[in-house]
Structure 1
Amino acid sequence: MAWRLRLVPEKTNIDFFKIQWVTFGASVAAMLLSLVLIFTMGLNFGIDFRGGTTIRTESTNAVDVGAYRQALQGLDLGDVSITEVFDPSFAENQHVAMIRLSAKEGDESVTPETIAEVEAALQQIDPSISFPAVESVGPKVSQELITSALLAVLAGSAGILFYVWVRFEWQFAVGTVAALIHDVLVTVGIFVLFQIKFDLTIVAALLTILGYSVNDTVVIFDRLRENLAKYKQMPLRDMMNLTANETLSRTIMTATTTFLSLMALFIFGGDVIRGFVFAMLLGVVLGTYSTLYMAKNIVLMLGVDRGDKPKKSVKSDFADVDA
């Protein structure tokens, strides 16, 4: 028989409800603490939400992000983001970068004098550099972006609520959305606590977290629906424990492989995507936790109508994957 690596034993009998009030209480406390941090400390908004200026540079020499950053360090600037742009349509000696400058505290925009200083500093290290485009984002546009980002997260959550409600029952939908709110809210709270820059890429990460978390939760709920038809006399709590143990190998395997991939990006991906990847790492950990210890708890509290379960249910394609 071929040897196979297992991340968890083939058969497990873990009682996920043994300390359910401790785990559920910790989740609620983390959500409340995150709300307090958001309203007291506030998010450290990036250029997208604070307003600022984007400078497009072109040069016949290769872009050296480190040299660009070093040249701008002596200037009195706010947050600076430097990104090299790649495009197949560029000529062989056409090297493009985007430099984003945030407005300093108390200023509505980056002044023309500051932009001139930036351009002069970059020309000192690369005389061939040119600045074909300079664009500014004002406070009004930034406020519109904040509103759009919030609406995007709410719309994503509402869509997931409707999908789970239609596919399963309303109790499952409530448990799923509560777990999603937990994942997003605690992730944002950690960003506030450590004052990590929050921009549109983090909003994209939050939307990705919603998709990842609901995928894991739906797999477990799909197996639970099968077991509801199979074990009609088993208490709901015992059935949920059985379901979580049956799908545990799949849950751990998915979380571990995703986490390892994200760690590689976090270490080697560079500063541009580090905030996005960090949010995703938090989402993987929190999503796995909330699936096992929050979504099921809420379904257990609300109860499930077991009087009209179908004799045969749709079999999940993923729940039997070994880890």
Structure 2
Amino acid sequence: MRIFNFSQPLNFMRLKWAAVGLSTLLVLGSFASIAIKGINWGLDFTGGTVIEVGFATPADLTAVRQTLTDAGYGDAVVQLFGTSRDVLIRIPLRTDVEQAAVGDSVISALNTQQSEPVTMRRVEFVGPSVGQELKEDGGLAMLIALIGILLYVTMRFEWRLSVGAVASLAHDVILTMGLFSLLQLEFDLTVLAAILALIGYSINDTIVVFDRIRESFRKLRATSVDETINDAITSTLNRTVITSATTMMVLVVLFYMGGALIHGFATALLFGIAIGTYSSIYVASAIAEILGISREDMLPPPPVEKEGENTDAIM
């Protein structure tokens, strides 16, 4: 299936400096937001208590928040969990003595304001040491993924393409975290999983483009580097658009139908895939070209002549 059918390659590299400049500004803005506003870490990383309760009738979240505020839990996060009768309550970390009784205290406070009893579905407690360990392990997982991709692309292609690929992935991750910082969206384990999935998705898209760049360098001998890269990107544009569009359709359904707990995951992937499609075209390829990628770098090495081998034609 082909959405676009171009008679001539599109001139993507004409905008490479503008794209690199825009990406630089966005990355710096993301760093600034993270430094000033910070990341709104979820209870998975900071520690605290997650309580799932069931109501006999549709829950009034405003009344639930007010009840918890009156009970001394003004910092609680209250949201629907699946249906209008299921409510998820997140309470930040308190002292160990208070934490052990948080679940019973919350249920007691809610039952005093309800005509029908509120049932406790589950209570989960995450300690501060566990949260810190999850934060460190998550950062280490992203670092190892980027280093592994750097080595893989270097061995499969060429170091300039490797630098472009890793810069593209780092660009996607930083901008996604910048979005969560700017909007103060909760960053929990599901968002971390989305970012790791984004790294895998984005590198797959970049590798497809790099494969075609290598083929184009070997096939098109009378074209410039700009023209060769433009031809490679244009020839993969249908695949890129179809893959991104179908993936985002699924994520839109997840965002609207998956419930509150999946919103962060879907948001990270929706934004990350849009940014990743752009960075595969402009950031990865543009950086490789700026670093001086050439046709000679993509040609296979000449065959090594074995010692004593007679290369003359047999008479």
TM-score range, shorter chain: 0.7 to 0.9
> Residue deviations 1:92-126, cap 9 Å, x none?
xxxxx89452316xx45664554333222455465
- Between the aligned partners of 1:66 and 1:303, the Cα distance in structure 2 is 63
Distance 2:15 2:144 in 1: 33
State the distance in 2 between where 1:9 and 1:64 align. 57
Aligned partner of 1:137 in structure 2 is 126
Question: Which is worse superposed, 136-145 or 174-183?
Answer: 136-145
Residue 259 (structure 1) aligned to one of 248, 253, 256: 248
Cα separation, 1, equivalents of 2:6 and 2:242: 13
State how far apart, in whole Å, the 2-side matches of 1:239 and 1:156 are: 30
Distance in 2 separating the partners of 1:252 and 1:130: 46
Bigger CA radius of gyration: 2
Is the counterpart of residue 198 in structure 1 residue 196 in structure 2? no
Residue 65 of structure 1 and its aligned partner are, at CA, apart by: 9.6
Q: Is the Cα contact below 8 Å between 1:68 and 1:122 reproduced in 2?
A: no
- Closer/same/farther in 2, CA of residues 125 and 18 from structure 1, 3 Å limit: farther
- Quick one: distance in 1 between partners of 2:137 and 2:87? 24
Is 1:120 the equivalent of 2:131? no
Report the alpha carbon displacement of residue 268 of structure 1 after superposing the two structures with TM. Answer: 2.0
Give the Cα separation in 2 of the matches to 1:273 and 1:69.
19
- Measure the CA separation in 1 of the matches of 2:295 and 2:57: 61
Matches within 5 A, 1:54-73: 54-55=50-51, 67=59, 69=61, 72-73=64-65
* Aligned twin of 1:79: 77
How far apart, in 2, do the equivalents of 1:236 and 1:102 lie? 56
Q: Which residue number corresponds to residue 14 of structure 1? A: 10
Give the alignment of 1:294-313 within 5 angstroms. 294-304=283-293, 306-307=295-296, 309-310=299-300
> Which residue of structure 2 aligns with residue 49 of structure 1?
45
Structure 1 position 212, deviation (Å): 0.9
5 Å-filtered alignment, 1:154-193, equals 154-193=143-182
Distance, in Å, in 2 between the alignment partners of 1:125 and 1:165 is 66
Please give the TM-score of this superposition, normalised by the length of structure 1.
Answer: 0.80
Q: What secondary structure sits across from 1:45 in the alignment?
A: coil
Q: Any conservation in 1 of the 2:41–2:187 contact (CA below 8 Å)?
A: yes
Q: Is the 8 A contact 1:72 1:118 kept in 2?
A: no
Question: How far apart are residue 246 of structure 1 and its match?
Answer: 0.9
Determine if contact 2:12/2:282 at 8 Å carries over to the other structure: yes
- Secondary structure in 1 matching 2:125: strand
Maintained 8 Å contact 2:213/2:229:
yes
Q: CA deviation at 1:236?
A: 1.2
Q: Secondary structure at the match of 1:297?
A: helix
What is aligned with 1:212?
201
Task: Give the conservation status (yes or no) of the 8 Å contact 2:51–2:120.
Answer: no
Which of 220, 236, 239 is the equivalent residue of 1:250?
239
User: What do you get for the CA RMSD once the two structures are aligned?
Assistant: 2.8
Aligned residues: 290
Distance in 2 of aligned mates of 1:180 and 1:267: 27
Equivalent-residue separation in structure 2 for 1:26 and 1:205 (angstroms): 24
Q: Which runs of 5+ in 2 are unaligned?
A: 302-315
| Offset from partner CA, 1:9-68 (integer Å, 9 cap, x none) | 3445321122221111000111111111111110111111121113466x8xxx779528
Higher helix proportion: 2
Q: Which residue of 1 aligns with 2:258?
A: 269
Distance change in 2, residues 1:252/1:130 (3 Å): closer
1: CA distance between counterparts of 2:20 and 2:249? Answer: 27
- d(CA) in 2 for partners of 1:242 and 1:116? 65
Q: Distance in 2 between matches of 1:297 and 1:198?
A: 31
Q: Which residue of 1 aligns with 2:304?
A: none
Amino acid across the alignment from 2:65? Q
How far apart, CA to CA, are the structure 2 residues paired with 1:66 and 1:121?
A: 18
The structure-2 alpha-carbon separation of the partners of 1:148 and 1:82, relative to structure 1 and needing over 3 Å to count, comes to farther
- Check conservation: 1:51, 1:139, Cα contact below 8 A: yes
Mapped partners of 2:299, 2:29: distance in 1? 40
Q: Which segment is superposed worse, 217-226 or 163-172?
A: 163-172
User: More deviation in 113-122 or 254-263?
Assistant: 113-122
In the aligned structure 1, how far is the partner of 2:7 from the partner of 2:232? 12
Shift of the 165–98 alpha-carbon distance from structure 1 to 2, 3 Å rule, reads farther
SS at match of 2:295: coil
Paired residues of 1:108 and 1:138 also in contact (CA < 8 A):
no
Q: In percent, how many aligned pairs have the same letter? A: 38
Aligned to 2:309: none
